[in-house]
Amino acid sequence: MRAKNVTLVLIGVVSLMLSGCSGSSESAASPSEFQSNVTQPDNVDYEEYSDLAVAGYKLGEIPDIPLPRAYGINMAESVSAKVTVETTKDLRSLPGVTVMPVKMENGTYSTFGMSAELFPDGSSRYQSGSELIENNGDGTGTYTDGVVTIVKNADGSGTYKKGLTQLNVNSDGGGTYVSAPYESLTVHSDGSGEYSGLTSSLKTSPSGSEYRGLQQKTITLNGDGSGKYVDLKVTIVNDGNGKATVTDNRSYGSRKVTVDADPLPKWKKMDLLQAVPAIPSVEINAFIITLDAAVLFDTGKYDIRDDAKETLESLAKVIKDGDVKEFEIDGHADSDGDEQSNQVLSENRANATKKYLESLGVAANITAKGFGETQPVASNETAEGKQQNRRIEVIIPVQ
């Protein structure tokens, strides 16, 4: 998979390479023509049997199948921003608080469809469009970008999936790989395993024209040096003791040769999956920090509640640590009550939030505005929607 840069750079690579095999137009012998014709290693005519060699390999050699591998996830982020998703993590962990990066242009903003949450147990969740990171706080969790999905467990086992391709890794180094409908591979912890795949080969039709056809091949490694290779043309059986018997499948087994062959290696263990990354910092030009009005105020009131202290102290810390010079506080209401009352309430709540932050030492230039019920973010037909509309939005430009 090609690298994808959208703040996250996911490099997810699963490769499985095979040496192709050439087809043949040679006529097959009939069963009545069966006869013993096994040639021993001391008098092998390698030229005579060269057509039985797998393309790219010596006569009697079984192709090597490299293990598929899923690479980890890396991130690229700006180091210049002072207010980032990471610096707002303590604030985001509080109930009733959401943080959204936005792009401000000419007094209006567009969101990136991004949300980030950090929970008290150290776990976190990040979503931007189709990209999702769910980190359990110990490197385990889930990553997906709408195309690739990676699930990683505490013991390093897990799953990599992309379309019809899936890699399952066990904690003991075994696992399975499937790229439907063409390839499948199973590797066991003892080094044994089985591979099955379809490859394209050049064939000749009865009329003499050439065409590309699919050819199936299977490879079995027993983990003790022995193993077997089979395709439409040839079967190779390695006894693990220095010999391999090569059989021409087109002759119904009547044409064979035994040659010297090294014992087969064990399949290497699959790499365990790398840790799911922490939620990234996001380079944008502003943040909208939304505070549920119920966290700050009693119903219909604009006096800051005593239990809102922790939330506003965390907000003040983000502003002061980020050396924010100016920002805006917007008050919003639902549609309950008359429009004028909601307008006044939203203005009073914005100003109350401003004064409280100033009392905490925030020295930035603060603009407080009220929008009443004119800018809902959810339906006012439901209790849940009304709660979302009763909010304070703090718009902080990235310095």
pLDDT in tens, 356-381: 999 999 999 999 999 999 998 889 89
Instruction: DSSP letter for 265, please.
Output: P
Strands 256-260 and 38-39, by their bridges, are parallel
Exposure string of 191-224, with b = 16+ CB inside 10 Å and e = fewer, is bbbbbbbebebebeeeeeeeeeeebebebbbbbe
pLDDT at 234: 92
Q: Tell me the C-alpha distance between 241 and 222, whole Å.
A: 13
pLDDT in tens, 202-236: 666 677 776 666 778 899 999 999 999 998 889 99
pLDDT at 71: 46
Angle separating helix axes 339-359 and 309-321, nearest 10 degrees: 60
Token code pair at residue 376: 């809902």
Residue closest to 349 by CA, chosen among 364, 366, 370, 365: 370
pLDDT in tens, 139-154: 888 988 888 888 999 8
pLDDT band at 72 (very low <50, low <70, confident <90, very high): very low
Checking if the pLDDT of 340 tops 50, the result is: yes
Report which secondary-structure segment, H or E, holds 199. strand 193-204
Q: Tell me the C-alpha distance between 276 and 285, whole Å.
A: 27
Residue closest to 162 by CA, chosen among 175, 143, 140: 143
User: Which value, to the nearest 10 degrees, does the dihedral of the CA atoms of residues 349, 106, 4, 93 take?
Assistant: -10
Residue closest to 353 by CA, chosen among 320, 321, 316: 316
Q: Tell me the C-alpha distance between 234 and 244, whole Å.
A: 12
Owner of token pair 């380079």: 283
Please check whether residue 172 is in contact with residue 192, taking contact to mean a CB–CB distance below 8 angstroms.
no
Strands 193-204 and 183-187, by their bridges, are antiparallel
Domain ranges within the chain, ordered by starting residue = 285-397
pLDDT band at 84 (very low <50, low <70, confident <90, very high): low
pLDDT band at 104 (very low <50, low <70, confident <90, very high): low
pLDDT in tens, 245-282: 999 998 887 899 999 999 998 888 888 877 776 665 54
Q: Which amino acid is at 133?
A: I
Q: Tell me the C-alpha distance between 75 and 77, whole Å.
A: 7
pLDDT at 136: 86
pLDDT at 63: 81
pLDDT band at 10 (very low <50, low <70, confident <90, very high): very low
| CATH of region 285-397, choose from 3.40.50.720, 3.30.1330.60, 3.40.50.1970, 3.30.1330.40 | 3.30.1330.60
More confident residue, 69 or 79: 69
